[in-house]
């Protein structure tokens, strides 16, 4: 049994504790399938991608030139404020594409598996929600395309293009 579930003099029945244990073990397996050991080790070596301002020594994954670029990046106050205001880490590294191309490219390659996994899972959730909501429709393809698109429509300009219905 998992150590967390060993509670001395517990009022919880053993069969329920066993259910918890099975559930937690399945969760561990799921996390391991999403984030294989190789990927977790890769993240440990590349912690500078997620926390560029907490690096105290050179990472084994960085060359000397890349490490110097990282030091330059962390000493720039404008980039520090950009890091604090960006919505996501991948957005932050994308904004540095011109200034720190080598670091930006390397960081994006490391972050890519998470973005694609997230993208697939969110799209699948949108797909299942649409198919459930419009179950009676024969073809919900256009609704799904709108949901899956990352382009935000400009409703105001679209409405201006339409001719208002004249009164009778």
Residues 6 or more apart in contact with residue 88 via CB below 8 angstroms: none
**Residue in the structure block whose two tokens are 């490219």:** 105
pLDDT at residue 62, rounded to an integer: 85
Mean of pLDDT values over 105-132: 76
DSSP 109-157: HHHHHHHHHHHHHHHHHHHHHHHHHTTT-S--HHHHHHHH--PPP-HHH
pLDDT at residue 28, rounded to an integer: 87
Closest C-alpha among 62, 58, 148, 160 to residue 110 = 62
Alpha-carbon distance of 147 to 161, in angstroms, equals 23
Instruction: Name which residue leads in pLDDT, 35 or 71.
Output: 71
Mean of pLDDT values over 113-123: 70
Closest C-alpha among 60, 49, 40 to residue 107 = 49
Q: Is residue 30's pLDDT more than 80?
A: yes
Q: What is the DSSP letter of 161?
A: H
How high does pLDDT run on average in the chain?
A: 79
- The domain segmentation of the chain, as residue ranges, is 14-51+61-134
pLDDT at residue 22, rounded to an integer: 92
pLDDT at residue 16, rounded to an integer: 85
Report residue 3's pLDDT band, with 50, 70 and 90 as the boundaries: low
Instruction: Name which residue leads in pLDDT, 91 or 133.
Output: 91
């Amino acid at each position: 049994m998992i150590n967390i579930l060993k509670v001395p003099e517990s009022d919880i029945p053993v069969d329920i504790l066993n259910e918890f244990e099975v559930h937690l073990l399945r969760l561990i397996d799921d996390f391991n399938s999403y984030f294989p050991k190789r990927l977790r080790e890769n993240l440990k070596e590349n912690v500078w991608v997620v926390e560029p301002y907490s690096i105290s020594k050179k990472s084994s994954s960085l060359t000397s030139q890349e490490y110097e670029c990282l030091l330059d990046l962390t000493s720039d106050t404008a980039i520090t404020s950009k890091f604090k205001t960006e919505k996501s880490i991948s957005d932050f590294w994308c904004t540095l594409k011109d200034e720190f191309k080598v670091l930006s490219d390397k960081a994006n390659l490391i972050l890519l598996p998470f973005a694609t996994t997230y993208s697939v899972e969110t799209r699948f959730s949108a797909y299942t929600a649409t198919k459930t909501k419009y179950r009676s429709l024969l073809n919900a393809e256009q609704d799904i395309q709108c949901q899956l698109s990352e382009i935000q429509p400009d409703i105001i300009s679209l409405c201006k293009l339409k001719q208002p219905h004249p009164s009778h």
